[in-house]
């Protein structure tokens, strides 16, 4: 019995500590709050447009069909096929990439992953994606000249640089002292410094990143848009059912008295 209690406690404390470990290991406190809103239909429509234009050339969304997206986001088949589908796939098909994965391997040293579930599996979800899209900086030591603060060493180039502009990461050296009093300098990220301006203001660019983050959150769980309306149907059904049950009860018991 004691063993069982110990086991339960061990499991509980492990579960409780896991998110803390993930937080301290993964994001360095650089994850920004995105305020992405998956219920904002216009934001999702813009996010879809950016994704189709800037991301689908490398990243597939293999669980999402064009027809499903049209229905969920309130778009017509003509709108989707005319201005959102550039890959030549059919309306009822899933969102595959134009580029072959093998080419991706060759060009970037790494294939671009499918992003269907990224907003769900990344710690921070849409906030992570938002921060990632805002954290590319120039780094001549990287093969493509880009690095990313929340994903160090990422092999993806900053595909939105014309919108955001380019920036450099500024680090501060903090003098610290090791265990025996020996000085050990550490480099701590301080801020981004703009290098060249983009076509958008930083506020407008934030909105682009937010729209894409919201769109990928929707893609990760399309049912999230339906759950709300289903909730009301269930509540309505339950209250009707309760009413009928109450009528039946009064009907049965009226004979007993």
Instruction: Find the shortest distance in angstroms from Cβ 106 to ligand HEC.
Output: 11
Nearer to ligand HEC, 113 or 222 (CB): 113
Task: Give, as ranges, the residues between 211 and 240 that touch ligand HEC (CB under 6 A).
Answer: 212
Binding to ligand HEC by residue 59, rule CB under 6 A?
A: yes
Nearer to ligand HEC, 108 or 189 (CB): 108
Nearer to ligand HEC, 48 or 75 (CB): 48
Letters for 68-107 (x = contact with ligand HEC by CB under 6 A, - = none) are ------------------------------------x---
Pick the binder of ligand HEC from 118, 131, 135, 167 (CB under 6 A): 118
Distance CA 128, CA 134 (A): 10
Q: How many CA atoms lie within 13 A of 122 on its CB side?
A: 23
- Beta carbons within 10 angstroms of residue 114's beta carbon: 16
| Integer CA distances (angstroms), 33 to 131, 149, 241, in order | 8, 15, 42
Q: How far is Cα of residue 209 from the mean position of the Cα atoms in its chain?
A: 10
Nearer to ligand HEC, 200 or 246 (CB): 200
**For residue 145, what are its two tokens?**
């000249």
CB under 8 Å to 55, separation ≥6 — which residues?
A: 115, 159, 212
Q: What angle do CA 198, 203, 204 make, to 5 degrees?
A: 65
Distance CA 63, CA 117 (A): 9
Q: Which stretch binds ligand HEC (CB under 6 A): 6-14, 50-58, 65-73, 161-169?
A: 50-58
Instruction: Find the shortest distance in angstroms from Cβ 207 to ligand HEC.
Output: 14
Residues at the interface with ligand HEC (CB under 6 A) = 54-55, 57-59, 104, 108, 110, 112-113, 115, 118, 129, 132, 154-157, 159-160, 212
């Amino acid at each position: 019995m004691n063993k069982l209690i110990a086991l339960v406690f061990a499991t509980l404390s492990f579960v409780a500590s896991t998110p803390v470990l993930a937080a301290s290991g993964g994001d360095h406190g650089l994850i920004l709050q995105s305020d992405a809103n998956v219920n904002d239909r216009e934001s999702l429509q813009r996010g879809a447009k950016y994704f189709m234009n800037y991301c689908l050339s490398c990243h597939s969304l293999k669980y999402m069909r064009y027809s499903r997206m049209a229905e969920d986001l309130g778009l017509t088949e003509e709108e989707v096929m005319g201005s959102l589908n550039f890959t030549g796939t059919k309306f009822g098909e899933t969102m595959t990439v134009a580029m072959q994965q093998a080419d991706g391997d060759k060009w970037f040293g790494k294939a671009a992953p499918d992003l269907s579930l990224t907003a769900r599996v990344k710690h921070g979800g849409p906030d992570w994606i938002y921060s990632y899209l805002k954290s590319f900086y120039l780094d001549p030591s990287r093969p493509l000249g880009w690095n990313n603060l929340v994903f160090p060493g990422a092999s993806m180039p900053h595909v939105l640089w014309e919108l955001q502009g380019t920036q450099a990461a500024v680090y501060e050296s903090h003098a610290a002292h090791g265990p025996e009093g020996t000085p050990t300098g550490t480099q701590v990220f301080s801020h981004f410094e703009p290098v060249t301006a983009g076509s958008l203001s930083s506020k407008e660019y934030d909105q682009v990143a937010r729209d894409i983050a919201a769109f990928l959150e929707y893609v990760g769980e399309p049912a999230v848009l339906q759950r709300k309306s289903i909730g009301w149907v269930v509540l309505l059904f339950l209250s009707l059912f309760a009413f009928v049950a109450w009528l039946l009860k009064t009907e049965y018991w009226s004979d007993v008295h």
